[in-house]
């Protein structure tokens, strides 16, 4: 099924196979260095280690200190025949390993067992970091040159929202400028053993709505005398969406990406090839919300703006009864903003809506800050989209699953370039959970995938 592979690329693949013990050992070394961004643990040490490993591999790189955050590692490896520059983005920070007692092997042991490397970050995303490095090393070993100029971009706070990266990119755009970018922090599908490819990003507005009442809880005999924040909040929430989940905030859908033939074709292909029904089983539901069929469900998942109540808190919920009027009620709400909704205006529209419906007393806090990343979307016809698709088919033997949008990204609002998220995380690799691991063969294939993307993009 796999297309014929160009002879130079074939040599690169063979070199990767031959040198896999080195790649495995390096992955173990990198996983053994804890780098937990949520706990500010080991990030500087990990950046130093990574820089040292890159220098060992003959890859020039610089470490940039971000005020208040962990360093960013940037490295440029020019191609003598192709000045077009491709950014390789990955992150060296990891999720916290807790709960520790659930791990079979200690989370930073990087134990090799059953054909896998076990440890926090083994998949997410230290194997991604090394795939880029080893792919470039392979090209240099075989061709003494690269098919395209490469910029490495490895950050250390992806798992906590990259908060310090945005201002740094804003102040140093030239450090980041490339013709395209891709990221190996995505996954493979459950039913088809081939990477998924995401051509865009949904953004998120995460707010807390707080209704205030008396200065403390009041005996409910006095309910006629004091404000009732719980009811106030319920009424306010009820104005946000209708029973079909359509968002009722004025102008919310302005700019929304209208699906064209290419997006419809991608959705149809996905519904045919992916076991969408398995999702229902996974959720423990009989049918998708609003009676949506598989196509409509996948379309909504990618392209529909959503307003979700993530948490709702008020008053007494313990055993027995407690007759109070609570003094406060609050809700956490996430709005997913698909392309190309203007994320910078969303919070203002929400506040205006509440005020116009008589809820100006309800406090609105933006949980992730006011500076929201914009959603983005690129065409499947972009060179980088085509290159990643071609590379996936070459390495995995099947056409990849192409999604319209997914999530991730901070750089693009300051330096625009067409960007594709893809990756080789397997459904069983326990991302963000105890016993994270990567299968060695998946990792080695991932290095080939990175090498093939460089090749396919270079020739476009």
Under the rule (CB under 5 A), what is the footprint of Zn ion? 124-125, 185
Neighbours of 80 (CB within 10 A): 10
Tell me how far, at minimum, the Cβ of 312 lies from Zn ion, in Å: 29
Tell me how far, at minimum, the Cβ of 94 lies from Zn ion, in Å: 8
For the chain, the 3-state helix, strand and coil shares in percent, each to the nearest 5, are 35, 20, 40
Tell me how far, at minimum, the Cβ of 158 lies from Zn ion, in Å: 6
Tell me how far, at minimum, the Cβ of 128 lies from Zn ion, in Å: 7
Please, which residue, 124 or 393, has the CB nearer to Zn ion? 124
Tell me how far, at minimum, the Cβ of 105 lies from Zn ion, in Å: 21
CA separation, residue 456 to residues 126, 146, 265, 433 (Å): 24, 12, 23, 34
Please, which residue, 125 or 228, has the CB nearer to Zn ion? 125
Tell me how far, at minimum, the Cβ of 91 lies from Zn ion, in Å: 6
* Residue at token pair 């051509």: 199
CA dist 372 and 369 (Å) reads 7
CA dist 19 and 27 (Å) reads 13
Please, which residue, 228 or 403, has the CB nearer to Zn ion? 403
Three-state secondary structure call for residue 452: helix
Give the pair of three-digit tokens for residue 398. 């099947």
Please, which residue, 185 or 328, has the CB nearer to Zn ion? 185
Please, which residue, 185 or 198, has the CB nearer to Zn ion? 185
Tell me how far, at minimum, the Cβ of 332 lies from Zn ion, in Å: 23
Under DSSP, the state recorded for 5 is P
Please, which residue, 184 or 333, has the CB nearer to Zn ion? 184
Tell me how far, at minimum, the Cβ of 93 lies from Zn ion, in Å: 9
CA separation, residue 160 to residues 152, 156, 408 (Å): 21, 9, 12
Please, which residue, 35 or 125, has the CB nearer to Zn ion? 125
Please, which residue, 183 or 267, has the CB nearer to Zn ion? 183
* Residue at token pair 């098919």: 147
Cα torsion 147, 151, 157, 162 to 10°: value is: -110
Radius of gyration of the chain (CA): 24
Question: Which segments of 92-220 are extended strands (E)?
Answer: 111-113, 116-118, 149-155, 180-184, 196-198, 200-201, 203-212, 218-219
CA dist 238 and 240 (Å) reads 6
């Amino acid at each position: 099924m796999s297309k014929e592979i160009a002879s130079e690329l074939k040599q690169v693949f063979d070199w990767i196979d031959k040198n896999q013990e080195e790649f495995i050992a390096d992955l173990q070394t990198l996983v053994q260095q804890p780098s937990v961004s949520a706990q500010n643990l080991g990030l500087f040490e990990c950046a130093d280690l990574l820089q040292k490993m890159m220098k060992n591999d003959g890859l020039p790189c610089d470490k940039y200190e971000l005020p208040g955050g962990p360093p960013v590692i940037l490295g440029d490896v020019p191609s003598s025949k192709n000045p077009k520059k491709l950014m390789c983005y990955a992150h060296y920070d990891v999720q916290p390993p807790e709960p520790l007692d659930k791990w079979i092997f200690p989370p930073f042991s990087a134990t090799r067992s059953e054909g896998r490397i076990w440890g926090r970050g083994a998949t997410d995303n230290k194997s991604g970091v090394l795939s880029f490095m080893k792919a470039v090393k392979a090209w240099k070993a075989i061709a003494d040159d690269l098919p395209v100029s490469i910029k490495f971009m490895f950050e250390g706070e992806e798992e906590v929202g990259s908060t310090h990266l945005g201002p740094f990119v804003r102040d140093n755009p030239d450090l980041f400028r490339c013709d395209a970018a891709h990221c190996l922090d995505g996954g493979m599908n459950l039913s088809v053993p081939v990477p998924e490819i995401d051509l865009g990003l949904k953004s998120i507005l995460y707010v807390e709505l707080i209704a205030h009442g008396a200065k403390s809880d009041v005996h409910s005999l006095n309910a006629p005398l004091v404000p009732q924040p719980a009811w106030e909040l319920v009424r306010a929430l009820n104005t946000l969406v209708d029973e079909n989940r359509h968002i009722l905030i004025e102008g919310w859908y302005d700019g929304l990406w209208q699906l064209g033939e290419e997006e419809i074709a991608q959705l149809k292909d996905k519904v045919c090839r992916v076991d969408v029904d398995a999702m229902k089983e996974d959720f423990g539901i009989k049918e998708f919300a609003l009676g949506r069929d598989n196509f409509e469900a996948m379309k909504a998942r990618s392209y529909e703006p959503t307003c979700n109540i993530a948490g709702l808190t008020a008053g007494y919920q313990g055993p027995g009864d407690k007759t109070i009027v609570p003094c406060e009620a609050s809700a956490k709400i996430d709005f997913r903003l698909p392309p190309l909704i203007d994320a910078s205006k969303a919070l203002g529209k929400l506040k205006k809506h509440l005020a116009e419906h008589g809820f100006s007393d309800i406090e609105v806090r933006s949980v992730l800050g006011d500076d929201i990343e914009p959603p983005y979307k690129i065409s499947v016809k972009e060179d980088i989209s085509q290159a990643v698709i071609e590379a996936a088919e070459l390495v995995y033997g099947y056409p990849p699953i192409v999604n319209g949008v997914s999530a991730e990204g901070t750089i693009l609002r300051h330096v625009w370039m067409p960007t594709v998220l893809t990756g080789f995380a397997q459904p069983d690799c326990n991302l963000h959970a105890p016993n994270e691991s990567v299968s060695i063969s998946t990792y080695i294939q991932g290095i080939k995938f990175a090498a093939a993307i460089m090749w396919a993009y270079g020739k476009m």
